[in-house]
Structure 1
Amino acid sequence: MWITIGNHRFKANLINTPAASEFSAMLPFTLNMDDLNNNEKHAQLPKSISTDEHRPKRIHNGDIMLWGNRTIVVFYKDFDTSYSYTRIGHIEDPSQLQQILGQNNVSVMFSKN
């Protein structure tokens, strides 16, 4: 999967779960993602998908998670959490992610290629 923000593309790997498969089946789409807590971008998916929530305890820069059954979240910082998420995937090299996403709302395209 690819995540495109402006002129920047990030390769992301989806994990092998029903939720990630359902997410992939919706591609491509573009979402206007809002910033939250200066550590993530989030937006509502076009439709709800399956969940398999767990508490990861630690979020990593580049994690792609589902909160609830319809909110996709792209994390751009490492931090501890007590929230539950469904894992969707991870960006392979998120080293520039925070700089490119910035702290404002941003348009993000998710695609298969």
Structure 2
Amino acid sequence: MKITVGDEELLATLEDNSSAREFKELLAQGPVTIEMEDYGGFEKVGPLGTTLTRNDQQITTEPGDVILYQGNQITIYYGTNTWNFTRLAKIDDPTDLQAKLGEGRVQVTFSLE
């Protein structure tokens, strides 16, 4: 999967769960752009515009985790947090991720390579 933020292109590997498969099916219909903003000093979050099946597990996120939150929001973590989440994907190289994601409100496009 490809994640585009401004001029930055990040590659991510999808998880093996039904939520990630549904997300992949959604992306197969075309790129999805989400307006995302910082929350809590450790993530970017934005509304997906649809609801996916949840596979929530108690996990501690790491920088680069792409998470489905409450079934209808996408978060990209640049810090850590422990909660019941569904991991959709992992960014292959999360180096300087917070800087790459930019400040404040940004448009993030998710697409299949």
Structure-1-length-normalised TM-score: 0.92
- Counterpart residue number, 2:77: 75
Question: What is the CA deviation profile of residues 62-108 of structure 1, one whole-angstrom value per residue up to 9, with x for unaligned ones?
Answer: 0011111111110012x242x21011110000102111223311110
Q: Give the aligned residue type for 2:49.
A: P
Partner of 1:105: 105
Q: C-alpha distance in 2, partners of 1:94/1:40?
A: 13
Q: How does 1:27-38 map to 2 (within 5 A)?
A: 27=27, 28-38=31-41
Give the structure 2 partner of residue 51 of structure 1.
Answer: 54
User: Structure 2: 5+ residue runs without aligned partners?
Assistant: none
Take 1:72 and 1:80, find their aligned partners in 2: how far apart are those partners? 15
Alpha-carbon RMSD across the aligned residues, in angstroms, is 1.1
**Identity over aligned residues, as a percent?**
33
1:94 aligned partner? 94
Number of equivalenced pairs: 110
Structure 1 Cα separation of the partners of residues 81 and 23 of structure 2: 25
Runs ≥4 in structure 1, deviation > 2 angstroms?
A: none
